[in-house]
Chains A and B, each alone.
Chain A
Amino acid sequence: MFKRIGQIVLLIFVCLLLANLQFSFISSLPGVFNQINLGLIFLIFILFFFGIKTAVIFIFIFGFLIDSLSFQFFGFYFISLAGAALASYLILKNWLTNKSLYSFWALFLIATISYNLLASIMVFMASNFQGVPGFFSLVFWRNVFYQSAWNLLAGALFFNFLASLAKKFKPSFLEKNEGL
């Protein structure tokens, strides 16, 4: 029980740090650097290594923090992250058979695309369906490309670093015992 509370307190602290970094630091960086999406990177990392339950807690905390600070409508980042986590989880559960770097990369790609698609659809809906959704523009796909590139890079670094740290994080075959 205390261990679980400790884990959640640690997660709150990590989320606060990540939200602050994403909101103020990453957003002020030049060019392609401001496309780094720390929330998404950590979400996939948590989903892949710690399971859906921890990922859901991460979405609660990180989503709430970013939604409180942002000027998008409340729930925007929460829904985007939840959508990305759901799409990635379904792929992880139904299609992927092992925990390798390639699986990790596949999840990052799915999460990045679903996150951005969902975000652009919500912005389109929030603007009373004026114009066309963001995913019809070249800028949108350019941003998705940069985000994917950053996420794949972060994925490779994370995966190799963690695999060298503990046995739990080494490539392995998946056991299908957790479901929605």
Chain B
Amino acid sequence: MVKIKKNNPLLILTVVLGLLVFLHFTGIIRPLENSLFFLIKPSSQKLYVWGTNINSSYGEKREKENLLLEIKQLQEEKNALVIKNSHWKEVEEENNKLRNQLEFVSSNNFKIVMANIIAKEGSFSATENSRDLIIDKGEKDGLYPDFGVLSPDGAIIGKVVETNYISSRICLVTSPGCKLAASLQNENKTKGITDGNLGLTINMNYIPQLEKVSSGDIVITSGLGGNIPRGLVIGKISEVKSESNEVWQAAIIQPLVNLNDLTVISVVIP
């Protein structure tokens, strides 16, 4: 017969783990877990910002070589945008006048909750090569899964995937499995679904073969997802993949914001 020692560390580990899991799922230790979170929250925010600053300066060093080329392209783009902007200003003025006349209630009237990113969490699965963000706002602030998440510039950077009372987990648009209902800002308002690609770019799939899609088109949320409003910018198309024998075509989207530099985000509450 196998004799088990009273002070067997393995036995103690198993018993304590079982007890902790029981106490966690029954909610008995929730006050302890919440106070722990509030205890480390201030230092977590600072530590995360330090880490992000190191991340940014590391990235900047590598990107300097590409910057000169990018500046040239941006100057050309800027000239084109100045012309477009003057046109849009006139359109906006006209739009405002018409809205006032119709007493139109703005569709962009959604509530926003600001949150600090306090950590990143990786995955151990074979299919996902991404790191989700953890923010310091949760169900107590009105956050629930599938709510859209914006960068300080107003571009959509992901969505809430999981919440608890005090914090939430956010998947980035570049993470595999992070899907958004999207639409192109072209004549036909082409619709599709975006999905992250290796944590670097975004794929837009299920675009009908007959739709005309070209590089440089802006991709926005279509509003078909339910909880995410229409018109939030996802990114710009950098490449179109179209095979004549396929039913669908696909596009690669480049996000407009650097997702590694984020420290503060806002969650859209529909």
Chain B CB within 8 A of A28 CB: yes
CB-CB under 8 A from B32, the residues of chain A are 68
CB distance from A32 to the nearest CB of B (A): 11
Q: A25-B51, A60-B13, A69-B36 are in contact. List 10 more A-B contacts (CB 8 A).
A: A20-B40, A24-B119, A28-B52, A30-B59, A67-B20, A70-B121, A131-B125, A134-B124, A179-B5, A180-B10
Which of B44, B51, B169 is the one whose CB lies under 8 Å from A71?
B169
Q: Residue B48 at the A interface, CB < 8 A?
A: yes
Evaluate contact between A180 and B36: CB separation under 8 angstroms.
no
Measured CB to CB, the nearest residue on chain B to A27 is B120
Which B residues lie at the A interface, using CB under 8 A?
5, 8-10, 12-13, 16-17, 20-21, 24-25, 32-33, 36-37, 39-40, 43-45, 47-48, 50-52, 54-55, 58-59, 118-127, 129, 131-132, 134, 162, 164, 167, 169, 260
Q: A25-B48, A56-B12 are in contact. Are A134 and B126 (CB under 8 A)?
A: yes
With contact pairs A69-B119, A75-B21, A134-B125 given, residues A26 and B51 touching in the complex (Cβ less than 8 Å) = yes
A140: chain B residues at CB < 8 Å are 124, 126
Query: In the bound complex, what is the Cα–Cα distance between A97 and B162 (angstroms)?
Result: 48
In chain A, what residue has the closest Cβ to B55? A30
Question: How many residues of chain A have a CB within 8 Å of chain B?
Answer: 53
* Cα–Cα, bound, A104→B260 (Å): 35
When the two chains form their complex, are residues A24 and B125 in contact, meaning their CB atoms are under 8 A apart? Answer: no
The one of A53, A78, A127 in contact with B125, judged by C-beta atoms closer than 8 angstroms, is A127
Q: Which of chain A's residues 110-160 have a Cβ closer than 8 Å to chain B?
A: 116, 119-120, 122-124, 127, 131-137, 139-140
Distance A30 CA – B126 CA, assembled complex (angstroms): 21
Nearest Cβ in chain B — how far from A12, in angstroms? 11
Is there contact, CB below 8 Å, between B37 and A69? yes
Chain B residues touching A, majority SS? helix
A75 CA / B44 CA spacing, docked (Å): 22
Q: Given the known A-B contacts A120-B124, A131-B125, are A25 and B47 also in contact in the complex, defined by CB atoms under 8 Å?
A: yes
A41 near B: Cβ within 8 Å?
no
B132 and chain A: residue at smallest CB distance: A71
Given contacts A75-B20, A82-B13, contact A24 B123 (CB under 8 A): no
Contact indicator A75/B17 (Cβ below 8 Å): yes
Q: B17 contacts which chain A residues (CB < 8 A)?
A: 75, 78-79, 82
Assembly CA distance A159 to B55 (angstroms): 29
Determine which of B8, B47, B124 lies in contact with A180 in the assembled complex, contact meaning CB atoms within 8 Å.
B8
